[in-house]
Amino acid sequence: MRDRKDAKRMKAGAWRLLPFGLALTALFVYALLAGGGSGGTSAPPDTPPAAPRQGETSSRTAPGEGRTIKIGFSMGTLLEERWQRDRELFRAAASDLGAEVTVMAADNDEAQQIAQAEALIDQGVDVLVIVPHDAEATAAIVKKAHSVGIKVLSYDRLVKNADIDLYVSFDNEKVGELQAKAITKLVPRGKYVYIGGADTDNNANLIKRGVFNVLQPMIDRGDVTVVYDQWTKDWSPALALANMRSALAANRGRVDAVIAANDSTAGSVIQALGESGLAGRIPVAGQDADLEAARRIVAGTQTMTVYKPIRRLAEKAAELAVQLAKGEKTGADRHVNNGKTEVPSVLLEPIAVDRFNLDATIIADGFHTREEVYGPAAP
C-alpha cells in the first residue's frame, strides 16, 4: 500500500518538473543556434582584442586589403628648410602609395617629441617613422611602439641604443669625407676651424667622423692644425655664430679654412667672417644644399655643400614604411650599429656640389630652380 502511494507521489512530481525541463531544453537549443552550432561561446563581432599588459608584445596583424595604412611621422624639428621639404615629399610619396601620414614636430624638444610619438602610438598608427631630436632619449619611443606591435623606422637620423626595425638615410660619414676632401684640395696646409652640429644628433657625430677621417693623417703630418672645434647645441645658427666669432677672436682672425656641419651653421660662419672682412677669402664647407647655401656658392662666399637628394630619401622611406606596415621584407642590405644592435639599413649616396656642378645637380634635379639660385635675371 505504501509502495503504491510513493509511486503516485513520484509520478506527480515528475509531471510538475516537466515544464522546467522543457524550458531548459529550449534554452540549450537556442544557445546552440546563436553560437552557430559550434558548441562554444563567441565574443560579439565588434569586441576589440584585449590590449597587451605592460611588458607584453601585441600580436598586431598587418593592415588588410582595402584598409588605409596609417603612418605616424615624428619629427625633431621643422625649423630648417630641408626638414620642411622632407615632410612634404614624404607625405606626397606615402599618399601615392595609398597611405595616410600624420606629422608631429617637436621644435627641438626631446620631451615634447616623446609625448607626441606616444600620441601617435595611441592613435593606432600602423608604423612609426622618427627623425629623432635626441638620438638617445628617443629610444623610449621605440620601446613603447614595440610593446603594442608597431614597427619603427629611423629616418635620416639614427635612434641610438634601441631595437630599431629599419634605418634609412644617406651615408653621413661620407658626407663629412666629401666636405674635408673639397676643402683640403684648396687648403692642403693651414689652420682649420670645425663648427659641428648638435652632439645629441648621431648624424653630427658621423659627419664629424668623416671629416676627421680625411684630416687626421694631415694633422699627424703637421700639415693641418685644428685651432677650434666646437659642437653647436640644437644646430642653432645663433650659437654657431657665437662659436665662429670665438674662433676668430682666439686666433686673431688668422684661420685658413672652415668646415661647418650643415648649411645653416655655414651661413653663421660666413656672417662672422663677413664681420671681419674675410667672407669669400676663406673656404667654407657646409651640407644640405639649402637654397641660401646655393646662392652663397654662386656669390663666392661658400665653397661647397653636400647635396643629399631628399626626394629619393623621402620616397624610399615611404616605400619601406609601407612595407614594414604590411609585414613585408624591405631588402635592407647594410647594417649600422646603434650601440645596442646592428640595425638593418638603407644608405643612399650623397653628392659634393660646388660652383662647377651646381647646375648639373641641384638645379637639374629640380631641388632648386635656376631662377631661385641665380635670381630673376638668370641666363
3-state secondary structure of 183: helix
The CA dihedral of 344, 348, 349, 355, to the nearest 10 degrees, is: -140
Grade residue 63 by pLDDT with cuts at 50, 70 and 90: low
Of 102, 159, 92, 90, nearest to 131 by C-alpha is 159
* 11 has pLDDT over 90: no
- The CA–CA distances, whole Å, from 198 to 159, 234, 321, 325 equal 14, 5, 27, 31
Q: Say how far apart CA 218 and CA 74 lie, in whole Å.
A: 40
Report the pLDDT value the prediction gives residue 347, as an integer from 0 to 100: 95
Q: Which of 16-30, 251-265, 315-329 comes out lowest in average pLDDT?
A: 16-30
* 141 has pLDDT over 60: yes
Report the pLDDT value the prediction gives residue 376, as an integer from 0 to 100: 83
Among positive and negative, which fits the CA dihedral 272, 274, 277, 279? positive
Task: Give all domains of the chain, ordered by start, each with its CATH number.
Answer: 69-164+310-347 (3.40.50.2300), 172-308+352-374 (3.40.50.2300)
Helix ranges, the chain (H): 2-34, 81-96, 110-122, 139-147, 172-186, 202-221, 237-250, 263-275, 291-299, 310-326, 358, 370-374
Q: pLDDT tens across 185-205, in order?
A: 999 999 999 999 999 999 999
Mean pLDDT of 63-78: 86
Report the pLDDT value the prediction gives residue 80, as an integer from 0 to 100: 85
Three-point CA angle 110, 334, 330, nearest 5°: 80
Q: pLDDT tens across 86-129, in order?
A: 999 999 999 999 999 999 999 999 999 999 999 999 999 999 99
Q: Say how far apart CA 350 and CA 344 lie, in whole Å.
A: 19
Report the pLDDT value the prediction gives residue 64, as an integer from 0 to 100: 55
* 341 has pLDDT over 90: yes
Q: Is pLDDT larger for residue 53 or for residue 2?
A: 2
Place of cell 631595437: 163
Grade residue 29 by pLDDT with cuts at 50, 70 and 90: very low
* 297 has pLDDT over 60: yes
Neighbours of 53 (CB within 10 A): 7
Place of cell 565574443: 43
Place of cell 685644428: 226
Rounded to two decimals, the pTM is: 0.74
Report the pLDDT value the prediction gives residue 82, as an integer from 0 to 100: 85
- The CA–CA distances, whole Å, from 58 to 54, 61, 74, 343 equal 10, 9, 22, 22
